[in-house]
Amino acid sequence: MNAKLKYFATLPLIAVLPACASSNDRYPSLAIRPFERAVTTATPVPPPAPAVPIRPATDPARISALRDRANAAHAAFLASESAAQPLARAAAGRSAETNARAAALVAMADLSSQRGATSAVLADLDLLAAAASTALAPDPSLSAAQAEVAALVAREDAAIARLWEVMGS
């Protein structure tokens, strides 16, 4: 009797189960839809024109002042270099305890100091370039000034290296 009771108790559940499945119009079909079959021919959208800054990111007078400062520092370097050349030649092959070697080392330190003044101007120009790039306002005159001062620093580096070779250290 117990088995008959279980059978009759599950019969209504089985009868109601098909009612859970409804018609196909309630759920979307997983078949490919017409717009998925179509090949689209989208035209590329041109990139927007860069916005013109309200004011230039770098002041031309500031760039000119930095350029003048770099040229003055380079002129001071050239004067120190001409004084250091004979000292470096006199110190060539000498021991570290000689007065000639000590005078040449002081002259080389002065040259390094003068080079530092020129490279400080380059650092200022780099800061201006960073500010201009964050404002999305590239400045050709700033780039030209950077290249010019970087060339001065490279010449000074080469001159210092040449004098160190003359001294033999």
If one counts the domains in the chain, the total is: 1
- Tell whether 83 is covered by a domain: yes
- Tell whether 103 is covered by a domain: yes
Its domain, for residue 114, covers: 60-167
Using CB atoms within 10 A of its CB, is residue 22 exposed (0-12), middle (13-18) or buried (19+)? exposed
One-letter amino acid of 128: L
- Tell whether 66 is covered by a domain: yes
- Tell whether 12 is covered by a domain: no
Q: How many CB atoms lie within 10 A of CB 98?
A: 13
- Tell whether 52 is covered by a domain: no
Whether the pTM exceeds 0.75: the reply is no
- Tell whether 13 is covered by a domain: no
- Tell whether 31 is covered by a domain: no
Q: How many CB atoms lie within 10 A of CB 123?
A: 11
- Tell whether 15 is covered by a domain: no
DSSP character string of 63-113: HHHHHHHHHHHHHHHHHHHHHHHHHHHHHTT--TTSHHHHHHHHHHHHHHH
> Helix 140-167 crosses helix 60-91 at what angle (to 10 degrees)?
10
Per-residue pLDDT tens, the chain, 169 aa: give them.
566 666 666 766 666 666 666 565 677 778 888 777 776 666 777 888 776 655 666 788 999 999 999 999 999 999 999 999 999 999 888 887 889 889 999 999 999 999 999 999 999 999 988 888 887 777 888 899 999 999 999 999 999 999 999 988 6
Report yes or no: 118 and 156 within 8 Å, Cβ to Cβ.
yes
Tokens of 57: 């990111």
